[in-house]
Amino acid sequence: MSSSSPVAATIVIFGGAGDLARRKLVPALFDLHRFGHLARETVIVGNGRSVEDDAAWRASMKAAVAEFGHDTPLDEAAWEAFSTRLFFHRGDLKAAHDLVEMKARLEALEKERGLPGSRLYYLAIPPSAIAPLVVNLGAAGLVHPVETPGPWSRIVVEKPFGHDLASARALNDEIHGVFRERQVFRIDHYLGKETTQNVLVFRLGNGIFEPLWNRRYVDHVQITVAESIGVEGRGRFFEETGILRDIVQNHVLQLLCQVAMEPPVAFEPNAVRDEKVKVLRSIRPQTPEEVLRDTVRGQYGAGSIDGQPVPGYRQEPNVSPASLRETYAAWKVQIDNWRWAGVPFYLRAGKRMPKRVTEIAITFKTPPIALFRKTGVLTQEPNVLILRIQPDEGIALRFGAKQPGPTMKVDTVKMDFRYADAFAGKTHDAYERLLLDALHGDSTLFARRDEVEAAWEHVTNVLDVWRGNPPSDLPNYECGTWGPEAAMELMARDGRRWRRP
């Protein structure tokens, strides 16, 4: 969390009454207020068509913070103070004159509060509304040019950032028609998680791990993002998206970058992002045959989770009964650079898995000589370092140890570090950290244009091959299992197997 003094600014949430604002943004802003990270003058202005006025928005946000916030029961005094920062400007972001009216309202509020006019525009709106809003912000004179000293204007853009490479490029072009790159904050909330940031600290803030972090010692890497939930009423969205776009293009590839990137020359935005882009550009391009060989699509059929029966994907509301949309994806990726040549990265993401878990597992090579062979110890499990991103955040190392007793028997044991044990007290939500960084203008944890496009380039290649080769075996895994048989075969072919986290 940034330690510099609070920045006086106006925060505008487009989509102020939407799900993201209710669940994440306003609860995070309330926490920033409670812990003294918001400047005294700062105001938060919601926008949308469905809320009547300031009072109605305050009441609805109070209910949201009570339901989704960390402060239970809600601290009434803190809420009262916070709610004086909240205002709602009703309007249609696609109507240019509504934005002109909003400008007048913002200027009046800023004058009243003694704010400089610096503004953070948070776009918690459907992807199709981003381009029209950006144009209208520019046309209404709501964007300060970066060249002029004084107040600044920045936008935070949510995922999904585009639907494929062409649409991501088009969206970037549209945004850059009004904003410069340093004003654009493309959010991936995984980067705001303490555990994701800790991957770099673990690697580069310690002397003993980084020397092992390369092809000489690492056999392979597995990255897993598993959810036990299904599509949770978002059938329509998921039918258009699928898990490769929704999770792999952003979260999984961001985790891959954290593990695989070279140490940046400094911990500052462009130095860090330069290294991430290099990783994405080093991913070996795949021919259609290689895509079909090295990826697996899955879709869940009916099954049970925690003993409770749950429906298959095709039975979910707003999902076609013949849907070919993937709810599981596995992908073997090769990074062709000096450090990682020959070390496969196995990526997987799935819904309706047995448990919710996100982890990175680094499996090391076995020792060169089986020294204990004569004593009956034939095989030894490789060392595995597990970086648990969520839940039960922490780091574990699995290694062999001699079982106590007169004979030589080796067992695998685990050294375990748990965040919850080591650091008592409040954990900060990813959105708190990211909102604060955006207010301070620090884009280290936000994706740059070339990074997003490089990720889409690989993902679009897979999507194109998949589209031309529709699967015939869906649904191919039961709810509550670790995915389709073909994914197990993908690993077995290489003499490896997926972890069961």
Which residues are designated catalytic? 251
| 3-state class (DSSP) for residue 325 | coil
d(CA 453, CA 161): 9
Q: Which stretch binds ligand NAP (CB under 6 A): 156-164, 291-299, 337-345, 437-445?
A: 156-164
AA letter at 56: A
| Options 56, 100, 103, 127; binder of ligand NAP; rule CB under 6 A | 127
Over its C-alpha atoms, the chain yields an Rg (Å, rounded) of: 24
Q: Does residue 137 bind ligand NAP (CB under 6 A)?
A: no
Question: Can you read off the two tokens belonging to residue 173?
Answer: 């072009």
d(CA 89, CA 109): 11
Question: Can you read off the two tokens belonging to residue 91?
Answer: 């309007």
Q: Looking at the DSSP assignment, which residues form a beta bridge with residue 397?
A: 385, 415
| 3-state class (DSSP) for residue 273 | helix
d(CA 245, CA 164): 8
Q: Which stretch binds ligand NAP (CB under 6 A): 157-165, 215-223, 292-300, 313-321?
A: 157-165
Exposed/middle/buried for residue 4 (C-beta within 10 Å: 0-12, 13-18, 19+): exposed
Q: Does residue 50 bind ligand NAP (CB under 6 A)?
A: yes
Q: Does residue 75 bind ligand NAP (CB under 6 A)?
A: no
With a CB cutoff of 8 Å and minimum separation 6, the contacts of 105 are: 45, 87, 89
| Options 66, 129, 135, 397; binder of ligand NAP; rule CB under 6 A | 129
Q: Does residue 473 bind ligand NAP (CB under 6 A)?
A: no
Q: Closest separation between CB of residue 159 and ligand NAP, Å?
A: 5
| Options 19, 112, 473, 494; binder of ligand NAP; rule CB under 6 A | 19
* C-beta closer to ligand NAP: residue 237 or 417: 237
Q: Does residue 20 bind ligand NAP (CB under 6 A)?
A: yes
Q: Closest separation between CB of residue 237 and ligand NAP, Å?
A: 8
Q: Closest separation between CB of residue 160 and ligand NAP, Å?
A: 6
CB of 418 within 8 A of CB of 386? no
Q: Does residue 15 bind ligand NAP (CB under 6 A)?
A: yes
d(CA 474, CA 497): 23
Q: Does residue 124 bind ligand NAP (CB under 6 A)?
A: yes
Q: Does residue 126 bind ligand NAP (CB under 6 A)?
A: yes
| Options 5, 35, 49, 173; binder of ligand NAP; rule CB under 6 A | 49
d(CA 361, CA 259): 10
* C-beta closer to ligand NAP: residue 159 or 428: 159
Tally of CB atoms within 10 A around 249: 28
Residue with tokens 């003694």: 114
Which of 220, 203, 278, 265 shows the shortest CA–CA distance to 493? 220
Q: Does residue 56 bind ligand NAP (CB under 6 A)?
A: no
Cis peptide before 391 (omega within 30 of 0): yes
CB of 299 within 8 A of CB of 475? yes
Residues 85-104 that bind ligand NAP (CB under 6 A): 92-94
* C-beta closer to ligand NAP: residue 186 or 332: 186
Q: Does residue 239 bind ligand NAP (CB under 6 A)?
A: no
Q: Which stretch binds ligand NAP (CB under 6 A): 123-131, 137-145, 201-209, 295-303?
A: 123-131
Q: What DSSP element (H or E) covers 279?
A: helix 269-282
Q: Does residue 236 bind ligand NAP (CB under 6 A)?
A: no
d(CA 393, CA 419): 6
| Options 9, 11, 12, 17; binder of ligand NAP; rule CB under 6 A | 17
Q: Closest separation between CB of residue 125 and ligand NAP, Å?
A: 4
* C-beta closer to ligand NAP: residue 384 or 452: 452
Question: Can you read off the two tokens belonging to residue 259?
Answer: 């593990």
d(CA 228, CA 315): 17
| Options 34, 37, 58, 159; binder of ligand NAP; rule CB under 6 A | 159
d(CA 120, CA 440): 10
Q: Does residue 242 bind ligand NAP (CB under 6 A)?
A: no
Cis peptide before 285 (omega within 30 of 0): no
Q: Closest separation between CB of residue 496 and ligand NAP, Å?
A: 32
Q: Closest separation between CB of residue 22 and ligand NAP, Å?
A: 8
Q: What DSSP element (H or E) covers 65?
A: helix 54-68
Q: Closest separation between CB of residue 123 and ligand NAP, Å?
A: 7
Cis peptide before 475 (omega within 30 of 0): yes
Q: Does residue 234 bind ligand NAP (CB under 6 A)?
A: no
| Options 31, 158, 359, 437; binder of ligand NAP; rule CB under 6 A | 158
Q: Closest separation between CB of residue 69 and ligand NAP, Å?
A: 15
Q: Which stretch binds ligand NAP (CB under 6 A): 48-56, 283-291, 377-385, 387-395?
A: 48-56
Q: Closest separation between CB of residue 189 and ligand NAP, Å?
A: 7
For ligand NAP, the nearest residue by Cβ is: 18
The residues of the shown chain that bind ligand NAP, judged by CB under 6 A, are 15, 17-20, 23, 48-50, 92-94, 124-127, 129, 158-160
